[in-house]
């Protein structure tokens, strides 16, 4: 089977343009991360071959094969080394999982590994329905063997949602949920998305209702797990991958009230994670301050243009800003008490995150960085007006809220939010410095300068991890 290396390129490069396929790289040598990966892969292969009766070693080899999809490894591979991989990462993983399954057919993790390989690795689009149907059987087998295990029950629900979302795209021939490894001129255009008919919408709704019922059953069994509420929110909400049910079916699939209720339930159960609160704030920002994106493609264009920029000028519409802040400020104040920002993470086989993320698409917030920047612009604009009226403490408070939001976003494992966070911190720290200087507060000005320096260092650090060729510099 062909290695679908375009999958990860599509995943990481959308909106930020930071990672390019090794097939087009001009680098002459492997990056340190890629060399380290090759050494680890060889060690895993030798261990499995030395003890071929050990299923755990074959599982470890399969995982090692797929670590090539890590951003730091993938971007550091040379053209020559990529071609020298024999077998390819997917083929190697497939062989290793097959051997592990033969040795330990009762092992639920092997069945889950097989499910995700089926979802990610195929020769052409026509194989998608068959592979996903087989993958559902494997995921269900894992869940049936571990009926009282939260991880495997959640993994099956996650896989069902992924399959339902992807099958909608396949049935309407919109294109797979990830990129093609065919030449660019042969790739299917995504601009013309056909409008589904009522029968197709009804069938898709029934499937997603079944998936929602699966999550509801899990919530009854594990009522204190915030992640289950985030999982069912994906079913009710706009979706976080491409293509999502909402993108395919239009607003008819988006149950706003239920989506918000699930996010609030998750925020209540896990008061350390700012994701559900900031996701709600992003929805309000999207509703109240239009970015001019009438379509998903237009919105993605905005993301691409602004992914690494620092916007310091506040939006012109002060009335819209004020309305936006009235809604989002309570959410921001609550989120500022949290310690991290972590989007929903489906249950994967251990170490298979890069593969599964490439399969299901982005896991970052549904609006990427643009809605969060809109909130930050509104905070900055209102702080500027408060400063002009001499309300220094109130202006500084808004700046600190923006800085807190940026700091939380910087902790995201997803690249768009991780890069957006420092830019927001820089924007709000810059405004804080202006507020401090206007008030003649040297202490506050020093704090603003420290925040600016910290944000700049964080942006450089995050960019270094993902920018093409950065690992070689390290």
In a domain, residue 98? The reply is yes
- pLDDT score recorded for residue 301: 40
Under 8 Å between Cβ of 273 and 338: yes
Which pLDDT does position 292 carry in this prediction?
A: 38
Backbone angles phi, psi at 75, to 5 degrees: -75, -15
Q: Considering the domain boundaries, does residue 43 fall inside one? A: yes
Residue 5 forms part of a structural domain: yes
Q: Is 94 a domain residue?
A: yes
Quick check: is 134 in a domain?
A: no
> What pTM does this model have?
0.79
The DSSP line for 204-246 is HHHHHHHHHHHHHHHHHHSTT-HHHHHHHHHHHSS-SSSS-HH
36 belongs to a structural domain: yes
Q: Give the helix ranges, DSSP H, for 336-441.
A: 353-360, 370-388, 392-410, 415-439
Domain with 97 in it: 1-105
Number of structural domains (the chain) is 1
Q: Is residue 61 part of a domain?
A: yes
| CA nearest neighbour of 371 among 330, 337, 407, 324 | 324
* In-domain check, residue 252: no
Query: What's the pLDDT at 367?
Result: 53
Q: Give me the pLDDT at residue 322, please.
A: 80
21 sits in the region (left: phi over 0; alpha: psi -120 to 50; else beta) called: beta
Ranges in the chain, pLDDT < 50: 1-27, 172-193, 240-244, 248-253, 291-316, 362-366, 468-474
């Amino acid at each position: 089977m062909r290695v679908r290396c375009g999958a990860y390129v599509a995943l990481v490069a959308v909106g930020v343009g930071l990672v390019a396929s090794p097939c087009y790289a001009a680098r002459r040598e492997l990056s340190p991360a890629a060399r380290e990966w090759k050494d680890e892969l060889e060690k895993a292969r030798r261990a499995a071959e030395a003890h071929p009766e050990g299923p755990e070693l074959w599982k470890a080899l399969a995982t090692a094969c797929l670590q090539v999809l890590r951003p730091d490894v993938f971007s550091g591979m040379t053209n020559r080394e990529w071609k020298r991989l024999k077998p390819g990462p997917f083929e190697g993983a497939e062989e290793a999982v097959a051997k592990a399954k033969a040795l330990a057919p009762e092992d639920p993790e092997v069945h889950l590994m097989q499910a995700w390989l089926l979802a990610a690795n195929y020769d052409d689009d026509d194989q998608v329905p068959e592979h996903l149907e087989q993958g559902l059987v494997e995921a269900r087998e894992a869940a049936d063997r571990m009926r009282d295990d939260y991880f495997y029950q959640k993994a099956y629900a996650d896989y069902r949602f992924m399959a339902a979302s992807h099958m909608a795209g396949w049935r309407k021939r919109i294109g797979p949920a990830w990129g093609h490894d065919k030449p660019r001129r042969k790739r299917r255009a995504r601009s013309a998305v056909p409008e589904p008919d009522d029968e197709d919408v009804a069938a898709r709704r029934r499937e997603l209702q079944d998936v929602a019922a699966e999550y509801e059953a899990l919530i009854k069994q594990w009522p204190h797990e915030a992640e289950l509420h985030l999982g069912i929110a994906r079913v009710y909400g706009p979706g976080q991958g491409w293509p999502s049910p909402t993108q395919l079916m239009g607003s008819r699939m988006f149950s706003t009230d239920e989506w918000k209720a699930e996010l609030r339930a998750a925020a209540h159960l896990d008061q350390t994670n700012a994701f559900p609160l900031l996701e709600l704030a992003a929805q309000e920002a999207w509703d109240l301050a239009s970015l001019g994106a009438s379509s998903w493609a237009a919105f993605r264009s905005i993301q691409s243009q602004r992914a690494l920029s620092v916007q310091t000028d506040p939006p012109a519409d002060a009335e819209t800003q004020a309305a936006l802040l009235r809604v989002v400020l309570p959410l921001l104040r609550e989120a500022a008490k949290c310690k991290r920002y972590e989007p929903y993470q489906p249950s994967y086989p251990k170490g298979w995150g890069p593969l599964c993320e490439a399969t299901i698409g982005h896991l970052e917030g549904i609006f990427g960085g643009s809605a969060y920047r809109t909130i930050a612009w509104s905070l900055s604009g209102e702080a500027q007006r408060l400063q002009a009226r001499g309300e220094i403490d109130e202006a500084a408070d808004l700046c600190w809220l923006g800085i807190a939001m940026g700091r939380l976003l910087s902790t995201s494992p997803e690249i768009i939010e991780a890069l957006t966070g420092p830019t927001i911190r820089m924007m709000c720290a810059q405004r804080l410095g202006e507020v401090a200087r206007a008030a003649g507060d040297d202490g506050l000005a020093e704090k603003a300068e420290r925040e600016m320096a910290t944000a700049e260092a964080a942006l450089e650090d995050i960019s270094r991890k993902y920018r093409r060729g950065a690992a070689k510099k390290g």
